[in-house]
């Protein structure tokens, strides 16, 4: 079944080293992996194991120190070249949608306005009426005109998922998407992500500490000391 899917992202020997004073910290130590279309992968592992660093590199939010990353067979990182922020932004807006632990909804904008926010900067064709469809799909149609401060944490995260999907990304990156939510809401968001993966074939890459949430993904990769171990 895996062989029938197209490869979306391929990382080879990705390294990321940070300099802290005179000390070098190897946050990522040569990670290679393939992410295919419609995969739902969760990265687990203790704090400092390199999960977020890896997802940031896969999501083109950061440049690796070494290694290569191909996106749909197109070379993004490689040969030690630093890719400019402008070029990374172009890739990001074409390919990725992001959700974060802290939602980052703008408090003075309504839920609908927050969801359509990415369209103010970049708009893929055929996104008319997408906000209403997404909000309806995520059970937020009655909250469209509410401000973020007037809805629950679970609803805020669902709104941020709608915002991440408004420009129809190929890959959804979720960094601790339920880190600020209780158990009930956590599983609720997990089910939303699984539904998006199964029904819409959306590729999802998720970082989580929550073992139950991780189990919802088709592939679970454990990170330890900057290395990836697929179970």
Partner 1 sequence: MISPFQIAYKNLLRDRVRTLLTLGGIMLASWVLVSLLGFNRGYERALDHDIDNMGYQLMVMAKGCPYEAATLMLQGGTGLRYIERSMVDSISREPEVEQATPILMQAYFDPNKGESGGIAGYFGVEAATFPAMKLFYRFRKGGWFQNENAAEVVMGFEAAELEQREVGDMTLVPEKNVQLKVVGILERTGTQDDGTIFVPLKTLQNISETDKITTIGIRVKKGADVAGLEGRLYQLPNVQVVSFSQVKQTIMTLVSTTRVMVFSIAVIALLIAMAGVANTVLMSVVERLQEIGVLKTMGAMPSDIFLLVWTETLILCTGGGIAGVGLAFAFARGADALARRVLPYAPKGGLVEIDLKLALLTIGVVGVVGLLSGAYPAWKAGRVRPLETIRSAV
Count the alpha carbons within 13 Å of 43 in the hemisphere toward its beta carbon.
Answer: 29
Is residue 227 near partner 1 by the rule CB under 8 A?
no
C-alpha to C-alpha distance for 81 and 93, rounded to whole angstroms: 21
What are residue 170's phi and psi, to 5 degrees? -85, -35
CB 77 within 8 A of CB 66: no
Residue appearing with tokens 């029904």? 199
Tell me how far, at minimum, the Cβ of 231 lies from partner 1, in Å: 25
Q: Convert residues 168-207 into a mask of x (bound to partner 1 by CB under 8 A) and - (unbound).
A: -------xx-------------------------------
Number of chain residues interacting with partner 1 (CB under 8 A): 34
**Which range in 37-45, 67-75, 87-95, 191-199 contacts partner 1 by CB under 8 A?**
87-95
One residue of 93, 146, 209, 227 binding partner 1 per CB under 8 A: 93
- 160-to-25, 157, 176, 200 alpha-carbon distances in Å: 32, 5, 13, 18
Tell me how far, at minimum, the Cβ of 175 lies from partner 1, in Å: 8
Is residue 118 near partner 1 by the rule CB under 8 A?
yes
**Which range in 2-10, 94-102, 187-195, 197-205 contacts partner 1 by CB under 8 A?**
94-102
Subset of 52-81 contacting partner 1 (CB under 8 A): 52, 56, 59, 61-62
Exposure string (b/e) for 86-119, b if CB count within 10 Å is 16 or more?
A: eebeeebbebbbbbbbebebeeeebbbbbbbebb
Is residue 104 near partner 1 by the rule CB under 8 A?
yes
What are residue 152's phi and psi, to 5 degrees? -80, 170
C-alpha to C-alpha distance for 65 and 106, rounded to whole angstroms: 33
Is residue 101 near partner 1 by the rule CB under 8 A?
yes
One residue of 42, 49, 167, 197 binding partner 1 per CB under 8 A: 167
Q: What angle do CA 194, 91, 165 make, to 5 degrees?
A: 30
One residue of 33, 38, 83, 119 binding partner 1 per CB under 8 A: 119
List residues near partner 1 by CB under 8 A. Answer: 52, 56, 59, 61-62, 85-86, 89, 92-93, 96, 98, 100-102, 104, 106-109, 113, 116-123, 131, 163, 167, 175-176
């Amino acid at each position: 079944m895996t062989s029938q899917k197209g490869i979306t992202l391929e990382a080879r020997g990705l390294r990321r080293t940070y300099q802290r004073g005179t000390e070098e910290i190897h946050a990522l130590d040569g990670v290679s992996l393939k992410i295919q279309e419609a995969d739902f992968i969760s990265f687990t592992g203790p704090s400092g194991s390199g999960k977020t660093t890896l997802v940031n590199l896969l999501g083109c939010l950061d440049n690796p120190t070494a290694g290569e990353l191909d996106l749909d067979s197109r070379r993004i990182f490689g040969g030690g070249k630093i890719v400019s922020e402008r070029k990374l932004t172009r890739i990001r807006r074409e390919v990725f949608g992001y959700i974060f632990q802290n939602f980052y909804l703008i408090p003075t904008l309504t839920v609908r306005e927050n969801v359509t926010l990415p369209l103010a900067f970049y708009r893929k064709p055929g996104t008319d009426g997408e906000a209403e469809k997404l909000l309806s799909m995520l059970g937020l149609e009655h909250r469209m005109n509410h401000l973020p401060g007037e809805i629950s944490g679970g609803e805020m995260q669902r709104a941020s998922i709608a915002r991440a999907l408004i420009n129809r990304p190929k890959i959804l990156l979720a960094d601790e998407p339920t880190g600020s939510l209780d158990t009930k809401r956590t599983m609720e968001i997990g089910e939303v992500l699984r539904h998006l993966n199964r029904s819409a074939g959306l590729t999802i890459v998720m970082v989580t500490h929550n073992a139950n949430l991780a189990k919802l993904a088709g592939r679970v990769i454990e990170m330890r000391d900057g290395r990836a171990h697929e179970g």
